[in-house]
Amino acid sequence: MIRKQDALDYHSQGRRGKIEVVTTKACQTQRDLSLAYTPGVAEPCREIEANADDAYLYTAKGNLVAVVSNGTAVLGLGDIGALAGKPVMEGKGVLFKRFADIDVFDIELDSHDPDDIIKAVKMLEPTFGGINLEDIKAPECFYIEEELKKLMNIPVFHDDQHGTAIISGAALVNALELVGKKIEKAKVVFSGAGASGIACAKMYEQLGVSHKNIILVDTKGVVYKGRKDGMNAYKEYFAIDTEARTLADAMKGADVFCGVSAKGIVSKEMVRSMADKPIVFAMANPDPEITYEDATSVRDDLVMATGRSDYPNQVNNVLGFPFIFRGALDCRARMINDEMKIAASRALAELSKEDVPDSVIRAYGGKKIEFGREYIIPKPFDPRVLIWEATAVAKAAMGSGVARVPIKDFEAYRDALEARLGKSREVMRSFVHKAQAEPKRIVFPEGEEEKILRAAQLLIDEKIAKPILLGSRTLIEQRITDLGLDLTGAEVISPGKSTQFDEYVSAYYTMRQRRGLTRFDAERQLKTHNVYGMMMVEMDDADGLVSGLTAHYPATVKPALQIIGKREGVRKIAGLYMLVFKNQTIFVADATVNIEPTAEDLAEIALLAAEKVRQLDIEPSVAMLSFSNFGGTKHPLTDKVRHATELVKKRAPGLMIDGEMQADTAIVPEIISELYPFSSLKTPANTLICPDLTSANIAYKLLARLGGAVAIGPILMGIRRPVYLLIPGSDVSDIVNITAMAVFEAQYQGRSGPKGGQIVDRFRASRSGAAAR
């Protein structure tokens, strides 16, 4: 429950209101000032004068929307005036930015004259890429939007009309599917004939509801042919021949109720009188036409949605307008037409049937969410809505001929949308694409886990990897069925029942027999999934392994070292974290394996990290960190880091590396250039080698928690074959991303042939000979 004082404090404390303007270009020097304003600013002015479309190149117009209101129909408050409505318009700007990365200026117009508003908004066209009309009362809102769409060459969209229609339209499609009814035969009653009610009725008709099956009800009762009281042209369109005169009359035998009217106007008896398996959308805000408790108390066969977040199936306009404008702006659409609205609605309906990300499940209390009576539309905080809906809208704009700059590569467009959700998503998307070029066989020792199974579905669907799931076949197949998955492309292996089991036991026993392993031990250990998975990789029956969802690092690292082993020339393995910030990526090592590394260890960690960073298509700039700058403090701990730096410079003279140095020296270029111009570190460091595991672990966690970075890892370095660690409790998306990195490394290795030891080679040769015979 939100208390009045909570809301007032939210808006008044700190910086007043909810928005501010943030510059996107530096303005720190005289040169910056001359570029931002006079004389430099004259150059883009000249270009735009010569070619108006260059405004989209040199200004923020293409990502800027005006939220325009006169305050005549603000939420449930009514006509409170333009100024009083300003907090709502600022809030709308927050939602545009948060969900679709669209910049907004709110414009409050102090006029009740529709023609004044039309004239004012038309004059704003040079400034904005789109216009969102908000909280303007009916019927004036219809006229204002219609006229502006005729006059302007940028998208104009009245969210109060179309937002609820689009979102509830998606809910309608899915609800009818769940109850087994055809849309063209459904009888639908609409309560409320204002902007939202009329728009919902029109949208439902476009989705397939028959015009003759629509009954519109307003404060005067049923809208029927011949009615004179309270009518207008928009209501007249829905007037039908009927004997029904009240809402109660209309709801008898109805399949669907769509309410955008007032609190408590629907009784239990009205819901009881509806047809079998009724659909009730009680969307009046903040209180619905009938509460969820009352409706479900008389009908246990209904599907219900409301405008409230504390009931299932919240019809929230934030599922619409940010993403619709995103798609429209990105193809520079001249308008938002019916085809684009329908595409948005159908995209939401389809997304509801997809597996729900763990991040969304956590945001809504941790309870399982899946398509059904209590989940017929996506949740507002589902990050996939941006990609699905904006893409669908842009495609519809292109298909209907209103896109002025068609999108040529929709795969690249989806990547760009991912990037708007955060730099980390953009980075990981690049690994996904690399993995898709040549999917590899990745074994999952924790194949019975639900998250692994859900991740496997995505890996198969997106052609990222070929999953191998270890565990009880019976249990895995049962869970696949329970989760509604189709893992046809995955291989399921029960280690103890595998046809390769005896061969693996012999190879493992031969490999470890002089290190205390008996054959009995080999048989017992091969039944543990991590050991079996490592043997699969070593015997070339898998290209990599991903594990650690339910166990600590040693459970994966120890068998990896015993079976796969370190790369030739590597003394110790280490762990690397990738920390992705909004504008840069930093790597930190070793926060995983080596507790108190020696100077020799630190040198090796630095070389391994530099190699891995370069493998990720980033040129490493390595800083060896300590509490001292370049000999400023004599101490055994600083001497260790200094010596490690010298060792690296001898072994890799072409590597940009320096130390010992403090963390700020490593990343602030002015410190190096002004105080230590002799340093070989000519750019800010992107690879930070910490003096021990304690400092590395603290550093990466602080950067992630306080610095706003997304931590990806740990990436295990120095192992001969791709073995990747999961953090206990990782999300499905984390598993998919780590797997993409494992596939990428398997590709990078470019394995020309098996790289096992002599023992493994002998068993492989034996297998090949048997096959030949």
Both tokens of 353, joined, read 């049937």
| Burial status of residue 122 (CB atoms within 10 A of its CB: 0-12, 13-18, 19 or more) | middle
HSE toward the beta carbon, residue 570, CA cutoff 13 A: 21
Tokens of 341: 């609205």
| Helix, strand and coil percent figures for the chain, each rounded to 5 | 50, 15, 40
User: What is the C-alpha separation between 692 and 73, in angstroms, rounded?
Assistant: 62
Residues 710/422, Cβ–Cβ less than 8 Å:
yes
Helix runs in 209-333, H state only: 233-236, 247-251, 268-272, 292-298, 321-330
Among the listed residues 552, 766, 585, the one whose alpha carbon sits nearest the alpha carbon of residue 685: 585
Angle at 473 between CA 467 and CA 477, to 5 degrees: 80
C-alpha 25/C-alpha 87 separation (Å) is: 28
How many angstroms separate the CA atoms of 560 and 566, rounded? Answer: 9
Tell me phi and psi for residue 658, to 5 degrees. -155, 165
Answer for the pair 739, 546: CB distance below 8 angstroms, yes or no.
yes
Q: Are 277 and 287 in contact (CB under 8 A)?
A: no
The answer to whether 199 touches 226, Cβ cutoff 8 Å, is no
Known catalytic residue: 434?
no
**Edge-to-edge strands, sheet with 585-589:** 656-661, 621-625, 687-689, 585-589, 574-580, 710-717
Beta strands 214-218 and 188-191 are parallel
Residues in the chain: 773
The greatest distance separating any two alpha carbons of the chain, rounded to the nearest whole angstrom, comes to: 99
Q: Bridge-partner residues for 103, per DSSP?
A: 64
Catalytic residue among 56, 58, 86, 92: 92
Radius of gyration of the chain (CA): 31
3-state DSSP call for residue 367? coil
Q: Do 36 and 97 meet the contact criterion of CB atoms below 8 Å apart?
A: no
Among the listed residues 4, 25, 37, 504, the single catalytic one is 37
Would you call 224 a catalytic residue per the annotation?
Answer: no
Catalytic residues: 37, 92
